[in-house]
Amino acid sequence: MNKKLKIILWIIFLGLIVLASCSLRPLKFQQNNETEITEDIDSDLIIVGFSQLGSESDWRTANTKSIQNALVKENGFSLIFSNGRQSQENQIKDVRSFIFQEVDYIVIAPVTETGWDTVLMEAKQAGIPVIIVDRKIDTEDESLYVASVGTDKYAEGKKAGLWLEKYLKERENETNISRKKLAVSEKEGSPINIVVLEGTPDSTAQIGRSQGFEDIAVNHKNWNILAHENGDFTKAKGKEVMAKYLQEFKDIDVLVSQNDDMTFGAIEAIREAGLSCGVNGNIKIISFDAVSEAFDKMEAGLINADIECNPLQGQLIADIIGRLEKGEEAPRVSYVEGKVFEAENASRDRVGRSY
Ligand code: GZL
């Protein structure tokens, strides 16, 4: 056999050895700067790959902590955590890495609703069940995931609209009383000028909260939604867009901000414009999430109302996996409930909260 053929065969043989060693579940997972392994891999543990969409907000931090605290070794889990940094492309890479590493389950908090079918089909073909957490995915093929855990974002948007209805009704009654006293007649339903800071486009939180609020607003001819732009759920972008709104519109009555981090930025922009917000302010603020710092702002009278979106979803995921491991049915959709908090009761309502 000539020398050249021998070398070619040897290279092929080496290649096969390398490939064979890769296909076994490695005892140690390769780490990159956004992937973190919580435990040395122990074959008795249930290995879960978790693709978190980012770290853009206080809410996201609480959500990540909740899931990391639930999927621990003491509960029989080994967690591989990846931060997608608000990029679906990163998340898809993370999911493919979990498939390659032959994890037992994949958990995904999807940054946006569409574009998941291909990679979820790869997970299905690899026999790895997928659980969707926090936001939803939009797919025709319901078999691509076994369960979803989150909150009802559409209901949250409606709660914001219903709170504004209640608030304005109470003010109208007050004005009517004073109007009777002053015998001042005023056109019913004076214009209410509203601006909206929206979350990441095509995310379930943005879609649901926008639609829910609009389905209430449509019943009020005097509610004018002057603008609704993307603030990407971050404080910096929320401040930037609110500053733009304040330049553009001189008579904003209400800000609806689809998460607290954007609200914190908006409050800075309002104050830098020499205006005030909240209970005694020019601009009334309805926010979403109800994280700890938002309670600080409600107690200071800077936010009027906050629609809670509960990030504590880790235990629900652990319970679902536990049931699947025992061959039991798991609920297809699990929601964690949330409340509506108001500035007037913030000190009382925040007692005992964990985020
Ligand atoms: C809501 C979640 C949203 C939060 C934001 O379920 O997807 O994403 O409201 C977070 O704070 O960025």
26-150+311-336: CATH, from 3.30.465.10, 1.10.645.10, 3.30.1220.10, 3.40.50.2300: 3.40.50.2300
* Predicted local distance difference test score (pLDDT) of residue 114: 97
Structure tokens at 236: 């910096």
Range 113-131 average pLDDT:
98
Contacts of 122 (CB under 8 A, 6+ apart): 95, 96, 99
For residue 148, the cross-strand partners are 132, 333
Residue 205 Cβ contacting ligand 1 at under 6 Å:
yes
**Predicted confidence band of residue 9 (pLDDT cuts 50, 70, 90):** low
* Predicted local distance difference test score (pLDDT) of residue 36: 73
Residue 288 Cβ contacting ligand 1 at under 6 Å:
yes
259 CA distance to ligand 1 middle (Å)? 7
Bridge pairing between strands 340-342 and 223-230: unpaired
Residue 70 Cβ contacting ligand 1 at under 6 Å:
no
Residue 291 Cβ contacting ligand 1 at under 6 Å:
no
Residue 264 Cβ contacting ligand 1 at under 6 Å:
no
Reply yes or no on whether the pLDDT at 82 is more than 80.
Answer: yes
* Predicted local distance difference test score (pLDDT) of residue 177: 56
**Predicted confidence band of residue 33 (pLDDT cuts 50, 70, 90):** very low
Residues in the chain: 355
Measured CA to CA in angstroms, residue 354 lies from 53, 59, 290, 291, 351 at distances of: 22, 12, 11, 9, 9
Q: What is the pLDDT of residues 146-188, one digit of tens each?
A: 999 999 999 999 999 999 999 999 987 766 655 554 444 344 5
**Predicted confidence band of residue 200 (pLDDT cuts 50, 70, 90):** very high
Return the residue whose CA atom lies nearest to atom 1 of ligand 1: 205
Fold of 153-309: Rossmann fold (3.40.50)
260 CA distance to ligand 1 middle (Å)? 9
* Predicted local distance difference test score (pLDDT) of residue 30: 40
Range 204-229 average pLDDT:
97
Residue 233 Cβ contacting ligand 1 at under 6 Å:
yes
Reply yes or no on whether the pLDDT at 40 is more than 70.
Answer: no
110 CA distance to ligand 1 middle (Å)? 11
Residues 276 and 266: beta-carbon distance below 8 Å:
no
Sequence spans of domains, the chain: 26-150+311-336, 153-309
Reply yes or no on whether the pLDDT at 15 is more than 60.
Answer: no
Q: What is the pLDDT of residues 249-274, one digit of tens each?
A: 999 999 999 999 999 999 999 999 99
60 CA distance to ligand 1 middle (Å)? 6
What is the residue-averaged pLDDT of the chain?
90
Higher-confidence residue of 32 and 348: namely 348
Q: Do domains 26-150+311-336 and 153-309 have the same CATH topology?
A: yes
Segment holding 343, helix H or strand E: none
* Predicted local distance difference test score (pLDDT) of residue 181: 47
Range 300-308 average pLDDT:
98
Which phi and psi (to 5°) does residue 147 adopt? -160, 155
Nearest atom within ligand 1 for CA of residue 233 = 12
